[in-house]
Amino acid sequence: MNDSLWLLKAIVIVLAVIGLFAALGIAGMAVMHLDMMHGWHACQDAIRAWR
């Protein structure tokens, strides 16, 4: 029982680290995107032009 509990904890920790890196990556890409587009208004204009 103790061996399987240790394995379960290890899997949960690995998945938590992967999720943390994914969340930080998505947040970083969103910040860079908004910075490149000079704010949200440029995104709205691009979305209107795309439609």
Whether 31 maps to a domain, the answer reads yes
* pLDDT score of 4: 80
Angle at the Cα of 41 from the Cα atoms of 29 and 27, rounded to 5 degrees: 15
Q: How many domains are there within the chain?
A: 1
Tokens of 9: 């904890």
* pLDDT score of 41: 62
Whether 8 maps to a domain, the answer reads no
Residue 48 belongs to what domain range? 25-51
Q: Are 15 and 24 contacting, i.e. CB atoms less than 8 angstroms apart? A: no
pLDDT, tens digit (0-9, with 9 covering 90-100), for 3-50: 689 889 999 999 999 999 999 999 988 888 777 766 556 666 667 776
Q: Are 45 and 37 contacting, i.e. CB atoms less than 8 angstroms apart? A: no
Whether 19 maps to a domain, the answer reads no
The pTM for the full model equals 0.57
Whether 40 maps to a domain, the answer reads yes
* pLDDT score of 39: 59
* pLDDT score of 9: 93
Residue 43 CB coordination number (10 Å) = 13
